[in-house]
Amino acid sequence: MSLIAEKPDAVSDADNSGTDLTTAKSAEGQHNQQCAKILKDTFGYSEFRPGQMEVIDKVLNGQDTLILLPTGGGKSLCYQVPALVLEGITIVVSPLISLMQDQVQQLTAQGVNAAYLNSSQDAEQSQKITEQLYNGELDLLYVAPERLLQSYFLNSLQRVNVSLIAVDEAHCVSHWGHDFRQDYRQLGRLKSHFDNVPFIALTATADHATQVDIQHQLQLDNPFVFKGGFDRPNIRYNLLAKYKGFEQVVTFVKQQEGAAGIVYCNSRAKVDDLTQRLQSAGIKCDAYHAGHDTATREFVQTQFLKDDLQVVVATVAFGMGINKSNVRFVVHHDVPRSVESYYQETGRAGRDGMPAEALLLFDERDAARIKQWISTGTAADRYDIEMHKFEAMESFAEAQTCRRQVLLNYFSDYREEQCGNCDICLDPPKVFEGTTQAQQILSCVYRLKQDTSVQYVIDVLRGKSIRKILDNKHNELSTYGIGKDQSDNYWHNIIQQLIHQGLLRIDMTMSGILRINESARSVLKAERIVQLAVPKLSVDTSKRNKAEPVNIDRQLFAKLKHLRKQIAEEENVPAFVIFSDATLADMTDKMPTDKTQFIGVTGVGQTKLERYGMAFISLIEDYLATR
């Protein structure tokens, strides 16, 4: 029977009222105990994260809810646990086939009766799952919005007991969201078909306007809204001024020592080019973008999920459906178009709570190019929204204070303390009086008649003997060679800072040439002092990430990963489906040598204990015996 705590009817008799209240509290206590048991036995966790049980209580009491939790923050458990408590089936609306497949694969590995229906299945597979649905054999069914909204499917659901409807990636419903989808917009129709069924909407990325719109579009009835904060403390945010971006990416990826990661580019051509460069550098990677056919994209994704590829280089077409918990880094070769996109894409790293790195390469030319795209290629009713979102992203990239504070402030998640785990906190900008350098650059741009690219200005400053400079007699300019003691990267960084300060600008109407702004006049006349930051030319990955566990036995951890990989290959599933990196790290700390100890490891439930426990226990025993 359902364990939903019923709200007691109002009665005049005080004793009866007290009895009803006691009964309600007893029922609530019962389902709290049942939820805790499901959490441990099925999912392998000994306690809920802050707010999860509160949300689950609201769901079990039939209230609509809107959940805002960061990626990896435990959103899924807020509907998966109720699905195992309630009678009937939970319908989960999900936007991508790959996301459904990942979720169902992990749930079935934990012993949960879950399935999905989507266009990747043939008629026989769909029929089998439909029969399971009608026979009450499923706890959760994942479907795409376009399938769910078809009349025949809605009518078929009237034959079963739908106990809960979960809308994942709910920001897709809002035109204010960064990933608006028309099919999601129609989900408000569901309320008329399931007026007595609670709805739970979940997202990791929604500013205030998007939150309000989600509630309106889904017709949520007086919903309980839970905002768990947007912080991902295990992700270290880094930014470098982009200069020879391909080389910067190769250097950074090599620093990761074989860890899995994603590199985002804003065009297919860049994806293909960077993939070739990484492969030439000996890095096992492949490309993913919409220009490849479905079979190729699925192959790349499967290889990545199974740890047979270290890196996927991709456009934004890759990622939302990736539930891979052991992605250790995300690189943005090009600046994203919104803070929401940046937050969501970097959030694909470190879903297991272990240390992760995010690197953004920022170039004012990229920013100017995106503004031009928005101006010329955006519908009138979307222009202000798109430009506002990109300007916020630009402000994040230009910030000289704690990056996490800037990021969280955008989502109204205000923090007074600096994070101590971003490049600004770990290596604060060192300011110097840079008037001379500013004058050298401005003078060079002026003498080149404000008609050249950033790189050409740098080539002249550094005194390079290239044909174009010699043919134009720019080697005879007074600024030729005055910056030869510094690198190209150094001067590129200084030019970026002068653009940030409004002394220079990129003119995209003239193929991205450098122009001098009126405000530069006072600098050239020595009437104004310019303060600059010492250029940061590389990412220091040697400093310990604050989220890194201190008790990891690296040798044992490597052996456990190898065993996990072997089992995953035998079962033809991704390694993280067996156990996450966080679970392996906890094994190295607790070193369990029997089943009683092994069930105490975080992420180990009854099903996984029975399936994999003895193999890992034996390895740990052998390791301890040889130490």
Secondary structure (DSSP) of 564-623: HHHHHHHHTS-HHHH--HHHHHHHHHH---SHHHHTTSTT--HHHHHHHHHHHHHHHHHH
**Domain-located, residue 543:** no
Nearest alpha carbon to residue 615 among 102, 623, 43: 623
Residue 56's nearest CA partner among 21, 86, 23 is 86
Query: Is 259 in the same domain as 310?
Result: yes
The reply to whether 207 falls in a domain is yes
Question: Domain of 122: which CATH number?
Answer: 3.40.50.300
The last residue of a domain, from among 533, 566, 595: 533
Helices 581-590 and 554-571, packing angle to 10 deg: 130
- pLDDT at residue 7, as a whole number: 29
Same domain? For 201 and 242 the reply is no
Structure tokens at 549: 């566990």
Helix or strand holding residue 562 (H, E): helix 554-571
- The model's pLDDT over 199-215, given as tens digits with 9 standing for 90+, comes to 999 998 777 788 899 99
615 inside domain: yes
Q: Which of 199, 227, 255 is the last residue of a domain?
A: 227
Asked if residue 452 and residue 408 are part of one domain, the reply reads no
- pLDDT score of 475: 96
- What's the pLDDT score for residue 87? 93
Q: Could you report the per-residue pLDDT of 52-91, keeping only the tens digit for each? A: 999 999 999 999 999 998 877 889 999 999 999 999 999 9
pLDDT tier at 320, thresholds 50, 70, 90: low
Judgement on whether residues 219 and 298 belong to the same structural domain of the protein: no
Residues 1-35: tens digit of each pLDDT: 233 333 233 333 444 445 555 555 555 667 788 99
> Does 332 share its domain with 213?
no
Compute the residue count for the chain: 627
Which pLDDT tens digit goes with each residue over 168-195? 989 888 876 556 677 888 898 999 899 8
Q: Across the chain, how many H-helices and E-strands are there?
A: 28, 17
Which pLDDT tens digit goes with each residue over 427-438? Answer: 898 889 999 999
What pLDDT was estimated at residue 472? 95
Query: Would you say the C-alpha torsion 245, 248, 250, 252 has a positive or negative sign?
Result: negative
pLDDT at 322 exceeding the cut of 80: no
Does 63 share its domain with 198? yes
Residues 6+ apart with CB under 8 A from 149: 183, 186, 187, 189, 190
Task: Tell me the CA distances in angstroms from 336 to 227, 285, 333, 342, 402, one per residue in order.
Answer: 25, 22, 9, 6, 19
Same domain for 104 and 119, yes or no, is yes
Whole-number pLDDT of residue 20: 55
In a domain, 2, yes or no: no
Q: Does the pLDDT of residue 534 top 60, yes or no? A: yes
CATH of the domain at 591: 1.10.150.80
Residue 409: strand, helix, or coil: helix
Q: Is the pLDDT of residue 342 over 70?
A: yes
Main-chain phi, psi angles of 64, to 5 degrees: -65, 145
Q: DSSP code of 518?
A: G
- Tell me, what's the pLDDT at 5? 30
In a domain, 105, yes or no: yes
- 179 domain residue, yes or no: yes
pLDDT of residue 14: 41
Give the pLDDT of residue 288.
Answer: 94
- Name the burial class of residue 293, with classes exposed (0-12), middle (13-18) and buried (19+) by CB atoms within 10 angstroms of its CB: exposed
Q: pLDDT tier at 92 (50, 70, 90 boundaries)?
A: very high
Per-residue pLDDT band for 332 (boundaries 50, 70, 90) equals very high
Gap between the Cα atoms of 344 and 543, Å rounded:
25
Structure tokens at 354: 């272990």
CB 477 within 8 A of CB 447: yes
The per-residue pLDDT for range 408-453, each reduced to its tens digit, is 888 878 887 889 999 999 989 888 999 999 999 999 999 999 999 8
Note whether 589 and 617 are same-domain residues.
yes
The domain tally of the chain equals 4
Looking from the CA of 93 toward its CB, the CA atoms found within 13 Å total 29
What percentage of the chain exceeds 70 in pLDDT? 93
Give the confidence band of 104 by pLDDT, cuts at 50, 70, 90.
very high
Residues 438 and 342 in one domain: no
In the block, residue with structure tokens 């470190």: 350
Nearest by Cα to 318 from 335, 339, 341, 338: 341
pLDDT at 400: 82
pLDDT in tens, 585-611: 999 999 999 999 999 999 999 999 999
- Do 187 and 218 touch, CB atoms closer than 8 A? yes
Does position 50 have pLDDT exceeding 80, yes or no? yes
Q: How far apart are CA 49 and CA 20, in angstroms?
A: 30
Given this model, what pLDDT does residue 11 score? Answer: 34
- For residue 39, give its domain range: 14-227
> Do 326 and 451 share a domain, yes or no?
no
